[in-house]
Copies of this chain bind each other. A is one copy, B any other.
């Protein structure tokens, strides 16, 4: 069953893939001393609770619904240290990435697991980050049993985007298709898919789009479905910025910067477009995010020779989506 529990932690983490930028996506499952599942959680957003802290909170809530947890990660951490009542004594944790051992925006997760008396911690991937690593060693010194490399390959896949943007830049191509491969129509995807896309837009450094799409679709390109920060936009065009109709909605988004060349500081870029844009940029992409609805229609499909390898597939409303690499 240990693979099953780690897979639950991995799947939960994938739901927040890209949204944790610049942090890695991490999932955590906690079992009580009798191996009953207490929680399945993930890190959801940079600055908020790590996966372990979220999972511990959910586990405690599951055991005692009257807990009134503070919201801020730092306060939550200290509240739990003070009020855990040994409820998680001899519990087991499955974490997709080695628990951190350093004081970042939140205090070290390894210390929390030790203080609460966890018996065993399963880890999919060792943390190679020099600042945060050492969590497993710390746990072992506190007498906690640690087992490494459980579903290690799957754990490494989950970390790929993080390792890319940490070392330089990460480029994601977003494509929305019908079940028979056409990209036409203004709203192709389910509301759940578009919400995920807007969440990604709210955390990226730059949204990259083609001049052709902008003239034709006159888009807004903001993050309205999650009421969050709209991304800066880089328009790939041979013409000047002045040549665009300034009434196209995207130009009126407050605090938005418009670029015509990708700035070097941009580390997480999402490319959005159709067939031509995909043809031009596919070879420099790190990942592809493809939403697909449940309708066949009579329109032409996107025609391009592209063999993708699935990293993860999931469902959003009536859509399927896949995160692929070349």
A298: chain B residues at CB < 8 Å are: 303-305
Does A26 have its Cβ within 8 Å of any Cβ on chain B? no
A237: chain B residues at CB < 8 Å are: none
The answer on a CB contact under 8 Å between B181 and A296 is yes
Pick the contact of A301: B32, B180, B309 (CB < 8 A).
B180
The oligomer's copy count stands at 2
Does A37 have its Cβ within 8 Å of any Cβ on chain B? yes
Which residues of A, 8-45, contact B by the 8 Å Cβ criterion?
Answer: 31-32, 34-37
The answer on a CB contact under 8 Å between B34 and A37 is no
Does A257 have its Cβ within 8 Å of any Cβ on chain B? no
- Complex interface bits, A298-326 against B, C-beta within 8 A gives 1, otherwise 0: 11111111111110010100101010100
Q: With contacts A179-B181, A294-B322 known, is A301 near B300, CB below 8 A?
A: yes
The residue of chain B having its C-beta at the shortest distance from the C-beta of A317 within the complex is: B310
The residue of chain B having its C-beta at the shortest distance from the C-beta of A298 within the complex is: B303
Q: With contacts A34-B34, A36-B34, A37-B37 known, is A295 near B307, CB below 8 A?
A: yes
Interface pairs (28), CB distance under 8 Å? A1-B37, A1-B62, A4-B37, A31-B36, A34-B34, A34-B35, A35-B36, A35-B37, A177-B181, A179-B292, A180-B181, A180-B303, A180-B304, A181-B181, A181-B296, A294-B307, A294-B308, A294-B310, A295-B307, A295-B308, A296-B304, A297-B304, A298-B303, A299-B303, A301-B301, A310-B315, A310-B318, A320-B322
